[in-house]
């Protein structure tokens, strides 16, 4: 209720007919202004009662969902109205569940082509109690199209770099294989016992180089193929605990002491456990290699306004400033081994999770990798609802 109406109601017993008429006009004008504002919003807006019946919807929501202004619309839960079946089931599960409300996108066939709509349900609270829900519906088709074009452009540029890197990487093992094949051919011309022993060693080298080539191809395919991520709500802390437990023996043997400090409270984010474990494993292995004489690895997580922040810090050799900006580039490495795609994969996985990653480092002191995972699209407290709609 607006401050104006509250004050007017306080004065109501002292008003005459003329003043009541003026007050009524002001209230109607304010109501019309609110409704015009809500109707002019380009996104869809639906207000639901505590039993999930439609109290109000604007024209955009009417267009998106096919709602009408009939009495039937206000007498049934929204999922029993003639809306898309998949959307109806999503709304039913979301609005009747005790789990946090999470946004979701749906694709609809429209006269001007497929449209992608984002649904964001939010609770309406009064004195801390849920009295209904508000559903925002946004057409994100153009944004998704721009993001897709940008990803294609980035993929093309990345593919060029990766192809050049692969050509460089396979040159050495292919050269080694060629040399040892020549040695075997030479030995076959005079197959003495010592020559046969040498052939066995040559075959071992060829086998190792073939395995190396296979690793290069596998890493290349991972880097260029679209990731089939399945983001679901999960505990980031559990993944970090499992990782430290998995790496515990290897870290201990390397003389690396581990400190784990995880955030208290809810650490649930949208994640793909399979890919995220691989990303953190690559980060920890990089830290391990940076501490050949042992050191300390600290893994922390903390809740922020923007999301859940994970920081992996080591006391290793550090990275020079001139190299720091190149660490996510394909085939860039400061080590004498490895494909140089480890952090490229980490970057790709992190971005698929909608997260941000940054690396800070100081030579002789160590390196810190910080990843900020956004909170799922949910808002436990947004509106102070007083049981009225325009």
Residues 293 and 368 in one domain: yes
Tokens of 45: 């807006």
Domain annotation covers residue 177 = yes
**pTM exceeds 0.85 for this model:** no
Residues 261 and 358 in one domain: yes
Residues 237 and 364 in one domain: yes
Q: Which of residues 144, 167, 199 is at a domain's end?
A: 144
Residues 92 and 213 in one domain: no
Number of domains comprising the chain: 3
Residues 53 and 163 in one domain: no
Residues 13 and 137 in one domain: yes
Domain annotation covers residue 179 = yes
Q: What is the pLDDT of residues 24-46, one digit of tens each?
A: 777 777 767 777 777 778 888 88
Domain annotation covers residue 382 = no
The pLDDT confidence band at residue 15, using thresholds 50, 70 and 90, is: low
Percent over 90 (pLDDT), the chain: 24
Over residues 207-212, the mean pLDDT reads 87
Q: What is the mean pLDDT of the chain?
A: 80
Q: What is the pLDDT of residues 262-316, one digit of tens each?
A: 998 889 999 999 999 989 999 999 999 999 999 999 999 999 888 899 999 999 9
Neighbours of 353 (CB within 10 A): 21
Is residue 385 pLDDT above 60, yes or no?
no
Residues 314 and 219 in one domain: no
Residues 179 and 125 in one domain: no
Q: Which of residues 102, 125, 144 is at a domain's end?
A: 144
**Whole domain around residue 133: which residue ranges?**
3-144
CATH number at residue 156: 1.10.287.130
Q: Which of residues 224, 252, 282 is at a domain's end?
A: 224
Tokens of 69: 């202004």
Domain annotation covers residue 16 = yes
């Amino acid at each position: 209720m607006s401050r104006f109406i509250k004050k007017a109601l306080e004065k109501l017993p002292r008003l005459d007919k003329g003043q009541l008429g003026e007050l009524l006009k002001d209230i109607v004008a304010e109501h019309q202004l609110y409704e015009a504002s809500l109707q002019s919003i380009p996104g869809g807006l639906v207000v639901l009662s505590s039993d999930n019946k439609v109290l109000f919807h604007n024209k955009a929501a009417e267009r998106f969902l096919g709602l009408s202004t009939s009495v039937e619309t206000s007498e049934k839960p929204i999922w029993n109205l003639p809306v898309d079946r998949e959307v109806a089931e999503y709304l039913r599960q979301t609005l009747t569940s005790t789990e946090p409300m999470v946004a979701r996108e749906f694709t609809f066939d429209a006269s001007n082509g497929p449209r992608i709509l984002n649904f964001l349900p939010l609770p309406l609270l009064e004195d801390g109690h849920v009295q209904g829900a508000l559903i925002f519906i946004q057409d994100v088709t153009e944004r998704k199209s721009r993001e897709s074009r940008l990803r294609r452009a980035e993929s093309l540029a990345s593919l060029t770099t990766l192809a050049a890197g692969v050509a460089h990487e396979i040159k050495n093992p292919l050269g080694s294989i060629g040399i040892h094949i020549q040695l075997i051919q030479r030995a076959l011309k005079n197959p003495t016992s010592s020559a046969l022993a040498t052939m066995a060693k040559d075959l071992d080298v060829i086998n190792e180089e073939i395995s190396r080539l296979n690793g290069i191809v596998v890493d290349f395919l991972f880097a260029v193929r679209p990731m089939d991520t399945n983001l679901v709500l999960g505990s980031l802390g559990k993944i970090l605990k499992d990782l430290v437990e998995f790496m515990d023996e290897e870290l201990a043997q390397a003389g690396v002491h581990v400190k784990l400090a995880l955030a208290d409270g809810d650490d649930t984010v949208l994640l793909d456990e399979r890919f995220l474990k691989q990303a953190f494993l690559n980060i920890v292995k990089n830290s391990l290699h940076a501490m050949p004489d042992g050191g300390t690895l600290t893994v922390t997580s903390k809740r922020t306004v923007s999301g859940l922040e994970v920081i992996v810090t080591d006391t290793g050799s550090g990275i020079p400033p001139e190299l720091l900006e190149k660490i996510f580039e394909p085939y860039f490495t400061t080590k004498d081994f490895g494909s140089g795609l480890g952090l490229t994969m980490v970057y790709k996985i992190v971005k698929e999770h909608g997260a941000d990653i940054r690396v800070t480092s100081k030579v002789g002191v160590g390196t810190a990798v910080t990843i900020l995972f956004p909170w799922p699209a949910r808002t436990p407290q947004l509106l102070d609802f007083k049981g009225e709609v325009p």
